[in-house]
Chains A and B, each alone.
Chain A
Amino acid sequence: MPQPKTLYDKIWDAHLVHEDPDGTSLLYIDRHLVHEVTSPQAFEGLRMAGRRVRCPEKTVAVPDHNVPTDIRRAERIEDEMSRIQVEALRANAREFGIELYDVDDVRQGIVHIIGPEQGWTQPGMTIVCGDSHTATHGAFGALAHGIGTSEVEHVLATQTLIQKKSKNMKVEVRGSLPLGVTAKDIVLSIIGRTGTAGGNGHVIEYCGEAIRELSMEGRMTVCNMAIEGGARAGLIAPDEKTFAYVKGRPHAPKGEDWEKAVAYWRTLFTDEGAHFDKVVVLDASEIEPVVTWGTSPEDVLPITGVVPHPDEFEGGKREAARRSLEYMGLEPGTPLRDIEIDTVFIGSCSNARIEDLREVAKVMEGRKVKEGLRAMVVPGSGLVRAQAEEEGIAQKLIEAGFDWRMAGCSMCLGMNPDQLAPGERCASTSNRNFEGRQGRGGRTHLLSPAMAAAAAITGRLTDVRELMSS
């Protein structure tokens, strides 16, 4: 009987071009997503060496990180450096024959949202991008991870990556989620448990009933933050939901190829008895809506909790907690529900898909954004934006007091004009709460779209369950 394999083992083996005796491997890459910030130096490297892009048809480019989100951005990007980067991407795509979803294209959006949307992302594939949140695509059972610019150049030139195999880690979430608890709460709770280094050196496979019950959008939210847990990649075995999502998309297999593909995709699961180097089990019924209080994504607590005291931690984390609280302007013992906010940001590759916007609209039903609060929605793609407009969600959110923006990464990392001012406090559906992440001196609390909507209504961090029962 053959050795039982994990899902990760299977995808790895199917893409192995060559392996040296010491385990250094050459791995074939199926799809390469390229954006404006981490690619210019890679293309420049190709030019200087006189190299071409080996497989332009397996490569797609989109500007997302620093594009403004105002409606008139296609005419002109004011910031000169940003404009140069976007123009460089455009010129490089043309020179090397790569498909580009430009700023004025309705298909433009956050690279990790348009990959699945356009059907580039498929089960069993290896997918890379010069961005750590490439882990998102793992929701389809694709081995997807972020790479640096040198590796971007390597993939452009050779369609392969030099890798060493990671270890296998399983995160199982048993049972069903309680009301008001979402995919974001699952993944933040996992990181709260394992820490931001818990997955270092591993590829995580998320499984269990609560994961299976998630929509594809929810699964993408979970895999998106695998990197915040230290793992390069997160994986969820594909199932009927996955196939249904992929079917009919522009770059999805068609006709006979579709049948063949699905037959293969059905073999993509972890075999009974396969070995995991690390296993974490959570009970879904114990997960609550959570928020972060500090400047690391592991600083997670249920919304019912209080700001912790640094002395509750040990080792280097104690000093880190002290520094975090000072930066965040928070006193130990303060109930999280008493923390007032200035801004609400709904967007990012964690939570800017249509389902996320529906969640927000549901909580906002018949309610308004608190007066004086800045609240913005940045859809993940032009197509998400269009769909939300078609479903009437956009209109509802605008009437409730949200600023309805064009697609991009926006305030998740503040490379465009959407930034926090020093000291400004934000309830954010993004994935990182690092110091200065959303703007120098800005203070970020990570949470789910439903929780962000609740905060928008009350002007403070709020337990969305209270609004659901009323």
Chain B
Amino acid sequence: MEKFTRLTGVAAPLPMVNVDTDMIIPKQFLKTIQRTGLGRNLFDEMRYDDDGNENPDFVLNKPAYREAKILVAGANFGCGSSREHAPWALLDFGIRCVIAPSFADIFYNNCFKNGILPIVLPQEEVDKLLDDAERGANATITVDLEKQEISGPDGGTIPFEVDPFRKHCLLNGLDDIGLTMEKVDRIEAFEKAYAARAPWAA
């Protein structure tokens, strides 16, 4: 996993609530057996018309946002399916940070496994960032994970919360499986005790 330390880039505004994972990446693109290549189809049904032409009104098709690295969105972002193809598509497009008033649990979790930082902020802070983001390419935002701070184009800063363990993993690009493998003796001890306690399940 790529480390996440400090990210500076254009923020794209997507002021919709309940953006679901079917919107982020529709099912026809889940048939891949790879993690890469999904960026083209990120937000496919909003981004392209029925003939596959770009919809010029959709935010990521506008010249200012084609290189966006940050997405600012409405509440309950990422609701719906557990498909990790959603964060894969965001990542493949180049988005490494999503800011919203709230996230659906599984999506939120999946982001951290892919070097994407989801940030929860109060609605009024999100509204402010949405305003900043509307200014397009002139509105680069910097997200500093170490300091847990977002700096807007006007120099103001917004602090944010993040789970310390997840922060540590992102900052260092740590692989969860590797970390858990270090605890293999504990897993073995658990399995032994469990087999005695619940033989039908073990």
Contacts of B26 in A (CB 8 A): 436, 440
B84 touches A148 (CB 8 A): yes
In the complex the two chains form, is A197's CB within 8 Å of B104's CB?
Answer: yes
Chain A: residues with Cβ within 8 Å of the partner, total of 78
CB of A253 within 8 A of CB of B200, answer: yes
- CA of A435 to CA of B19, assembled, Å: 10
* Cα separation A422 to B105 with both chains bound (whole Å): 31
Instruction: Contact check, B163 vs A164: say whether CB atoms are below 8 A apart.
Output: yes
The listed residue (B16, B22, B114, B181) touching A432 by CB distance below 8 A is B22
Q: Is the CB of B113 within 8 A of A148?
A: yes
Q: Which residues of A contact B198 (CB under 8 A)?
A: 14, 124, 260-261, 264
Cα(A17)–Cα(B198), bound, Å: 15
User: How many residues does chain B have at the interface if contact means C-beta atoms less than 8 Å apart?
Assistant: 56
What are 24 pairs between A and B in contact, CB < 8 Å? A17-B190, A30-B201, A132-B80, A148-B87, A149-B35, A150-B114, A154-B176, A158-B177, A158-B180, A158-B187, A159-B191, A162-B176, A197-B18, A197-B102, A197-B104, A200-B76, A201-B105, A230-B76, A257-B199, A260-B199, A296-B18, A320-B16, A413-B27, A440-B45
User: A28–B104 contact, CB under 8 A?
Assistant: no
Asked if B6 is at the interface (CB within 8 A of a chain A CB), the reply is no
Question: What is the 8 Å Cβ interface bit string for chain B, positions 26-57, against chain A (1 contact, 0 not)?
Answer: 11101111110000000001000010000000
Q: Number of A-B pairs whose CB atoms are under 8 Å? A: 188
Of B17, B104, B186, B200, which one neighbours A261 at CB under 8 angstroms? B200
* Given pairs A30-B201, A148-B83, 16 additional interface contacts (CB within 8 A): A14-B198, A132-B81, A158-B181, A158-B187, A197-B75, A257-B200, A296-B18, A316-B15, A316-B75, A413-B22, A432-B20, A434-B20, A435-B45, A436-B22, A437-B27, A441-B50
Type the 1/0 row for A264-287, where 1 means its CB is closer than 8 Å to any CB of B: 100000000000000000000000
B164 at the interface (CB under 8 A from A): yes
Q: Chain B: which residue is nearest A296 at the CB level?
A: B18
Tell me which residues across on chain B come within 8 A of A162, comparing CB atoms: 176, 179-180
The residues of B that contact A182 with a CB separation of less than 8 Å are none
List the B side residues contacting A154 at CB < 8 Å: 176-177, 180
**C-alpha gap A102/B2 in the complex (Å):** 37
Of A36-44, A105-113, A361-369, the stretch lying at the interface with chain B is A36-44
Question: Which residues of chain A come closer than 8 Å to B194, judged between CB atoms?
Answer: 28
A71 at the interface (CB under 8 A from B): no
A189 vs B196: C-alpha distance in the bound complex, in angstroms?
Answer: 43
| CB-contacts of A171-206 with B (<8 A) | 196-197, 200-201
A interface list, Cβ under 8 A from B: 14, 17-18, 20, 22, 24, 26, 28, 30, 37-38, 40-41, 44, 49, 51, 65-66, 79, 81-82, 84-85, 88, 122, 124-125, 130-132, 134, 145-151, 153-154, 157-160, 162, 164, 166, 196-197, 200-201, 227, 230, 232, 253, 257-258, 260-261, 264, 296, 315-317, 319-320, 323, 413-415, 422, 432, 434-437, 440-441
A130 engages B82 (CB within 8 Å): yes
Inter-chain CA distance A442–B183, complex, in Å, is 48
Contacts of A227 in B (CB 8 A): 106
Report the separation of the CA atoms of residues A84 and B109 in the bound assembly, to the nearest whole angstrom: 28
Smallest CB–CB gap between A136 and chain B, Å? 13
Which residue from A18, A40, A149, A197 sits with its C-beta under 8 Å from B79?
A: A197
B31 to chain A: closest CB distance in Å? 4
Q: Is A160 in contact with B187, judged by CB distance below 8 angstroms? A: yes
Chain A residues contacting B200 (CB-CB under 8 Å) are: 122, 253, 257-258, 260-261
- Is B75 touching A157 in the complex (CB atoms < 8 A)? no
Task: Give the residue name and chain of the B residue nearest to A145 (CB).
Answer: B106
- B164: which A residues are within 8 A, CB to CB? 22
Contacts of A79 in B (CB 8 A): 31
